[in-house]
Amino acid sequence: MSQTPMLETRKLRLCVEQRVLLDACDWTVLAGECWCMLGQNGAGKSTLLRSLAGLREVDGGQIVLQQRALSEWRLDALAKHRAFLPQQRVDAFSFRAIDAVSSARHPYHESHYWDSDADVEIAMQALALLDVAALAQRDVRSLSGGERQRVAIAALMAQDTPLLLLDEPASALDLAHQVSCMRLLSSVCAEKNKSVIMVSHDLNLSYRIATHVLLMMPDATYLSGRKEDVMTAENLSVCLGHPIKTLAHDDQWIFLPQ
């Protein structure tokens, strides 16, 4: 029996000024799938992710979220169905880490203004998942880059949406937290049937945790599918503009630049 798609793009076209980044993209993401998006700098990965989040108009075609055109979603309803982690953020004001995470519960405040005890508990659980519960009372501006990134991912988890969109979530993290964070994202797909789409530059970590991969090619085309089928040395070499070789080690593949 076929699954109802979580997300679809239909003949999607993305441009920046006169340059075409992606053309005629027909792509389907199902519940329970963990997708990594790979490509060169400037290939349009962040542009695509922002478009999927509804933060940027597309230049052609259509994005469909749970069988409904993304352009037809009200923002308050959309906030319950997709969560978005941008590549960069600026903390202009002083507030505690727990407040940063609790704010992600705002879409559910239909009958109350202030955070409920349940909201705070969900926020604390999310902080614990990202190993930053001890920082709950700290000013976010006093945190290191990696700590602030984990607080931001905790907010994403607290928002509790079926679709998670993340732009380089592991970029500021140390090795141990890169691995634990990526494993967490993989586990919410496998155990909670959520869908994850993330931008990554780490081929080995991407292959380790992803179920599927989208390669954004230099000529505005794309390759998508199961990681075993798409992440070949030939495909990656063209996608990334540099020769890639693969090595088998125990039960995993290792990707190395030549």
For residue 111, the model assigns a pLDDT of 64
What is the rounded distance in angstroms from the CA atom of residue 77 to the CA atom of residue 75?
A: 5
Share of the chain above pLDDT 90, in %: 84
CA–CA separation, 204 and 13 (whole Å): 29
- The β-bridge relationship of strands 252-257 and 244-249 is antiparallel
pLDDT tens by residue, 127-150: 999 999 999 999 999 999 999 999
154-191: burial string, b at 16+ Cβ within 10 Å, e else: bbbbbbbbbbbbbbbbbbbbeeebbeebbebbbebbee
User: In the chain, at which residue ranges do the beta strands (DSSP E only) sit?
Assistant: 7-16, 19-29, 34-38, 60-65, 68-69, 82-85, 163-167, 195-199, 212-216, 222-226, 244-249, 252-257
Q: How confident is the model at residue 27 (pLDDT cuts 50, 70, 90)?
A: very high
Give the per-residue pLDDT at 230.
97
The pLDDT tens digits of the residues spanning 78-88 come to 999 999 999 88
pLDDT of residue 3: 82
Average pLDDT, the chain: 93
| pLDDT at residue 221, as a whole number | 96
pLDDT category, 112, cuts 50, 70, 90? low
Between CA 185 and CA 68 the distance in angstroms is 25
Lowest mean pLDDT among 10-24, 109-123, 154-168, 206-220: 109-123
Q: Average of pLDDT values for 48-72?
A: 96
Return the pLDDT at 113.
Answer: 62
